[in-house]
Amino acid sequence: MGCSVLSLFPFFILSSSLLLTCVTGNDRIKSGEMITENQILVSAGDTFALGFFRPGNSTKRYLGIWYHNIPVQTVVWVANREKPLTKKSSGSFTVNDDGNIVVLDGKGNVIWSSNASGADIGRNNTFGLLMDSGNLVLRHSNQTDLWQSFDHPSDTLLPNMRIGLNLKTGQSISLTSWTNEEDPAPGEFSLGVDVQRSIHIFIWRKSNPYVRGDVWDGRLFQGGAAPTGNYAGFNSYFVNDEWVYMTVSLSQNLNLLRYKLDQNGQLVTFSWLQDKNQWDVLSSVPQGCDFYGRCGPNGSCDQKIKNSSSQPLCKCLIGFEPRVGDEWDMGNWSRGCERQRELSCDKTNGFLRFERMKLPDHSITQRNLSMPDCETDCRRNCSCTAYAFSNFSDGFASMCMIWVADFMDLVQDYYGGLDLYVRLDGSELVNGGTTDDKKRRLVAIAVATVVSGLFLIGAFVYVLWWGGEEKRNIEANYNDSELLISKNCAPELSIFSFGSVLAATDNFSATNRLGEGGFGPVYKGCLPDGQEIAVKRLSKESKQGFEEFMNELKLIAKLQHRNLVRLLGCCVQGNEKILIYEYMPNKSLNKLLFDPTKQASLDWHKRFHIIEGIAQGLLYLHKYSRLKVIHRDLKPSNILLDEEMNPKISDFGMAKIFGLSQTQANTRRLVGTHGYMSPEYAWKGIFSEKSDVYSFGVLLLEIVSGKRNTGMNSTNPTPSLLGHAWQLWIEGRAVELIDPSIKDSFLPNEVVKCIHVGLLCVQEDPVERPTMSSVLSVLSNEIVSLPLPKEPTFSVVRKSTAVSSPLNTLTNQYSINYVTITMEEPR
């Protein structure tokens, strides 16, 4: 191979940081050989070099890979990015006694290792090899690769590398930006694959969505760029039961190509210009519509509008209007849009088609449905706000996607986008809609013509009579409303005057405001006798209305248990509808559980106490109360904590009363929160006490881990918290799920028992989930025999396919969008 690894001769200064006195013709390192700080390995084709370097003006040193024979040192991979060699310590790279390639400090301590394992791995059986692709591999003498740097990238994606996720092991292959130009330690931004709902490619900023990519529609990623003759490269996609990944291939008209996720979150595409001896920037994203949720909920970003244009980037969909008009007109689109007419669940609703849309986030998918069946399923589900459909002619399953919430991250005029059918009130479908909708409108117009004629005949007579009645009815409506609420208040509940509520909350002052949910704002108050109270005031903008208000009032008034929040009374005056509760000084569980600065205050003893208390409260609702109640919205923000950290289940606005012998019910109006809904409820609207058991299982695993089910991302790269828990369980490492902030206080046997119970609760088949009686029995006993849990539904990927497509090619002719979702949605 030319000169020996250990031979030296003067070289030149690369960048401003590294003096190399040797270039070796060797592309590998074997047992007994060592690379020191002024030596390098060079790939066989002279494309890449491996050695020690200093980034910028830093005095710290790292082992890295960079392009060889390019005058600007361009590092594409770093080994010891979190453990640099200091100024006072020398470093070396070698094959260790255990057969791994390692970086050693001056004292011989291992500061980085490939950490490969195997029965026949050993120092004399392995060697390190630098390939012309830029990949460093640990190869066995039998020519099998035991480890490769391509599976552990830094901030750079090279041709033939892959970005993806192993659905079985949870192994993630993702890019992570440098902290800054002189510090390759992991920064704020990461790029990877998310399979929480549909498959996405995305960029996160810490744990927050930053850019969302295209949706996998079952065959390829929907959307992307128009392929042209000048595009830099093309992507291949592979999806099966084990892996989801993307690779980038190099176009023939380019020599060197790389994609770098920089410290500002920009994914920059570079191509080397040989004649100019410099890197040329082909594209940089995000820009314009690439940013996640650029136009807020229900806002649509116009891909054709440039930032420099005088035209607004964002528009409200037809049938929607800005939530806050003044802010919208000033270019602050974050609050998004809202419906001009609220949907009612009747046959006058229809669907308006929006063409070439980047589909919104939070879809629910169902395979093997026809287009008409997809529309029918959405039409029958009163909570369904839109649907989209992908159909294939080459053996792939069709896919129906529906939405049950606001539309987030919409982009119009999106290359390769799909048609989105948005549900609207019939009066808003004058100029559009599906064929069936148009037929329905023609029939409606004919009927309306006849009816209007009959109506006009009687209108004059009615007007003469109506005038005298109207005045009396206005007054009666207010009295009837107060009377209705008064009748539903149990004798032990107080009827508060609006004036007393104003006095207790200091006129609903901002300083007394505790937060806001789907019902409306919640305030802290104080009664004249000194008792502290919590005041829930129905908001005029709330999607919950008088029905939910009455539901909560009737239910809580008749339910009494130490683990249910206690209702003290109510108030109604005109449009004001208010519920008065006991005050919980420790607020809601999510305020402590997901706050890194407060998690440690919930030690294991308190967490187990909270788990038992929630289970006691649910068992009371399902079995021992006067009414059999299904809560339907169990989540951390609906668990309140009193001064002794006793949990109290709250928010019964969405709860349903069952007959004592009733086992399940079906609804066309879905309510609840993504991440906590059981599979049968989220798609089919079927709910039962086993739906609550599923939510309890998710909640239990969140309490153990301190992580949201909807908040898993590249920093803990598994499909979801449920998937992460399952993987640890089958590997016998369940105890590793525990929140690190309480690692010194937990009892391993109790933790494993709780995880076991949680996984039983989140099984896909409701029949296989335990009852709350069984759950409490297990939690209360030291020795129990439990069935083994089955794998929970945490991945949407089930069909095997390998596809290549010249989409998302990252040139300046188009843009790519990436992101995941991490935020719990408030109701």
Residue pair 525/461 in contact (Cβ under 8 Å)? The answer is no
Please confirm, yes or no, whether 120 is among the known catalytic residues. Answer: no
What are the Cα distances from residue 637, in Å, to 615, 648, 651? Answer: 16, 11, 9
- Positive or negative: CA dihedral 440, 446, 451, 453: positive
What values do phi and psi take at 291, rounded to 5? Answer: -65, 135
Q: Chain-centre distance of CA 451, in angstroms?
A: 50
What is the distance between the alpha carbons of residues 583 and 635, in angstroms, rounded to a whole number?
Answer: 19
What is the distance between the alpha carbons of residues 461 and 467, in angstroms, rounded to a whole number?
Answer: 11
Give the list of residues 6+ apart from residue 624 with CB closer than 8 angstroms, or none: none
What is the distance between the alpha carbons of residues 599 and 704, in angstroms, rounded to a whole number?
Answer: 11
C-alpha closest to that of 89 among 107, 101, 103 = 107
Cis peptide leading into residue 286 (ω within 30°): yes
Helix axes 748-761, 721-730, angle to 10 degrees: 120
- The helix or strand, by DSSP H or E, that contains position 114, with its residue range, turns out to be none
Burial class of residue 177 (count of CB atoms within 10 Å of its CB; 0-12, 13-18, 19+): buried
What is the distance between the alpha carbons of residues 690 and 631, in angstroms, rounded to a whole number?
Answer: 11
What is the distance between the alpha carbons of residues 104 and 63, in angstroms, rounded to a whole number?
Answer: 10
- The helix or strand, by DSSP H or E, that contains position 774, with its residue range, turns out to be helix 772-780
How many of the other CB atoms lie within 10 Å of CB of 76? 20
Q: Please tell me which residue in 155, 302, 633, 692 is annotated as part of the active site.
A: 633
DSSP, collapsed to helix, strand or coil, labels residue 43 as coil
What is the distance between the alpha carbons of residues 321 and 298, in angstroms, rounded to a whole number?
Answer: 9
Strand 386-390 and strand 410-412: the pairing is unpaired
What values do phi and psi take at 159, rounded to 5? Answer: -55, 140
Placement of tokens 């528009």 in the chain:
315
Residue pair 752/734 in contact (Cβ under 8 Å)? The answer is yes
What is the distance between the alpha carbons of residues 638 and 672, in angstroms, rounded to a whole number?
Answer: 11
C-alpha closest to that of 534 among 439, 615, 642 = 642
What is the distance between the alpha carbons of residues 359 and 401, in angstroms, rounded to a whole number?
Answer: 9
What is the distance between the alpha carbons of residues 488 and 827, in angstroms, rounded to a whole number?
Answer: 25
Q: Give me the residues paired with residue 278 across strands.
A: 273
What values do phi and psi take at 68, rounded to 5? Answer: -90, 150
- What positions carry a catalytic annotation? 633
